[in-house]
C-alpha cells in the first residue's frame, strides 16, 4: 500500500476516534479545548476540500493530530504519523 494511502488511513482513524469521543461526552462542549478541536478539524477539512485537489497531507496530519491530542492527551497514537511522514520524505 502506498505511503499516502497509509497516512490517509491513519488520519481517518484519528478522526473517527475524535468523533466517537466528542459524541459520547457532553462535558466536552463546555471545555475550551472543544473549540480548539473543532477549529483544527475544520481547517483540515477545508484543506482537503480544495476543488483543485491540491492539498498538503502534512498540514492535514498536523491539524487532525493536534485535535486528537487535545482530547486524548496521548502521543502514542500520533507516533506512527511522524514515522510515516519521515519515511515519505
Give the list of residues 6+ apart from residue 37 with CB closer than 8 angstroms, or none: 18, 22, 28, 67, 70, 71
Q: What's the pLDDT at 77?
A: 66
Give the list of residues 6+ apart from residue 85 with CB closer than 8 angstroms, or none: 7, 58, 61
Higher model confidence: residue 75 or residue 68? Answer: 68
- Asked if residues 84 and 65 have their Cβ atoms less than 8 Å apart, the reply is no
Q: Is the dihedral of CA 32, 34, 38, 44 positive or negative?
A: positive
0.75 surpassed by pTM? no
23-53 confidence digits (pLDDT tens): 776 665 566 777 788 888 888 888 887 778 7
- Lowest-confidence range among 9-13, 21-25, 52-56? 21-25
- Asked if residues 67 and 40 have their Cβ atoms less than 8 Å apart, the reply is yes
* pLDDT band with cut points at 50, 70 and 90 for residue 86: low
Amino acid at each position: 500500500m502506498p505511503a499516502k494511502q497509509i497516512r490517509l488511513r491513519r488520519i481517518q482513524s484519528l478522526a473517527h476516534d475524535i468523533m466517537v469521543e466528542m459524541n459520547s461526552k457532553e462535558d466536552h462542549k463546555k471545555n475550551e479545548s472543544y473549540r480548539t478541536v473543532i477549529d483544527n478539524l475544520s481547517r483540515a477539512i477545508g484543506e482537503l476540500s480544495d476543488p483543485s485537489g491540491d492539498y498538503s497531507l502534512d498540514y492535514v496530519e498536523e491539524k487532525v493530530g493536534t485535535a486528537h491530542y487535545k482530547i486524548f492527551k496521548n502521543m502514542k497514537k500520533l507516533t506512527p504519523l511522524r514515522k510515516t511522514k519521515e519515511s515519505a520524505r
